Amino acid sequence: MKPIVKLAFAVTLLTAALGARADDIQVAVAANFTAPMKEIAAAFEKETGHKIQAAYGATGKFYAQITNGAPFEALLSADDATPTKLVAEGAAVKGTQFTYAIGTLVLWSAKPGFVDDQGKVLAKGKFEKIAIANPKTAPYGAAAVEVLTGLKLLDQVSPKFVTGENIAQTFQFVSTGNAELGFVALSQVMKDGKITEGSAWIVPGKLHETIRQDAVILEKGKGKPAVIALMDYLKGDKAREIIKSFGYEF
């Protein structure tokens, strides 16, 4: 066999081998983590060849889908309770759960100057509608209710609620003007450490339980090299740099 032919054959074998190792990963991702996950997925796919098939939505709904046999192989939750529950119920792999980000709640309006930096706009009540994610299925919605309860404003504000199915829909309500303001994830309005538009009050963490967001490998992803590689990638410096740029902590 001629050298050039041998080289071409070797390249073909290498390409085939890499293609055989590359895999698709079915991942359920909390809606608040949409923007950073898209960046992480692009970088991960470029480096590994694995393809991430991500679904974005409310953690509570993902829990129901997973327990009913949905084909997800990994979960990036908006809380730590759901992965813990899935592990206890045998639907997730013990020892694979870890915190990939700590979320920050923000009261935001698309209108500049509408929300003050101390959140006093809530007590003044000069708004018709305020958006909030469903507190029964979305941890950021539950945190928002906790904040309003602590400020003794829940009874005053709740009649003005516009409830989103998840934090993505909640953000949409505010960004389109269907609600003058709303409680969303900081990651939705921050890029490279800056609020991108509108006005906001970054809610102090002491006003609600820590939004600890955990990832876990699900039973359908058990032992799968591509899934394990994604979990490892989320713990690495490149992913963490992206995560931090959207306002998350660790």
Q: Are residues 89 and 132 in the same domain?
A: no
- Identify which of 74, 33, 6 has the alpha carbon closest to the alpha carbon of residue 171: 33
> pLDDT tens digits, residue range 86-126?
999 999 999 999 999 999 999 999 999 999 999 999 999 99
Lowest mean pLDDT among 9-18, 138-147, 232-241: 9-18
Rg (CA), the chain: 21
> pLDDT tens digits, residue range 35-54?
999 999 999 999 999 999 99
Quick one: which H or E segment has residue 228?
helix 225-234
Q: Are residues 98 and 220 in the same domain?
A: yes
Give helix 139-150 / helix 167-175 axis angle, nearest 10°: 70
Question: Among residues 168, 183, 202, which one ends one of the domains?
Answer: 202
What is the domain extent for residue 53?
Answer: 3-102+212-245
The phi, psi pair for 136, rounded to 5°, reads -80, -25
Contacts of 177 (CB under 8 A, 6+ apart): 110
* Mean pLDDT, range 197-201, rounded to an integer: 97
Kindly report the number of other CB atoms within 10 A of residue 128's CB atom.
Answer: 9
Judge whether residue 245 has pLDDT over 90.
yes
Both tokens of residue 8? 């071409």
d(CA 168, CA 57): 8
* Mean pLDDT, range 59-75, rounded to an integer: 97
Residue 175 lies in a domain: yes
> pLDDT tens digits, residue range 82-94?
999 999 999 999 9
d(CA 212, CA 129): 28
pTM of structure? 0.85
Q: Are residues 112 and 156 in the same domain?
A: yes
d(CA 243, CA 239): 6
Domain of residue 98, CATH code: 3.40.190.10
Number of domains in the chain: 2
Quick one: which H or E segment has residue 102?
strand 98-103
Q: What is the largest CA-CA distance in the chain?
A: 83
DSSP 92: B
Both tokens of residue 4? 């050039």
Q: Are residues 145 and 114 in the same domain?
A: yes
The pLDDT-based confidence of 193 (bands split at 50, 70, 90) is: confident
Q: Is 244 exposed, middle or buried (0-12, 13-18, 19+ CB in 10 A)?
A: middle
Q: Is 165 exposed, middle or buried (0-12, 13-18, 19+ CB in 10 A)?
A: middle
d(CA 58, CA 134): 9
Residue 250 lies in a domain: no
d(CA 201, CA 191): 16
Q: Are residues 109 and 197 in the same domain?
A: yes
74-76 and 24-30 beta bridge pairing: parallel
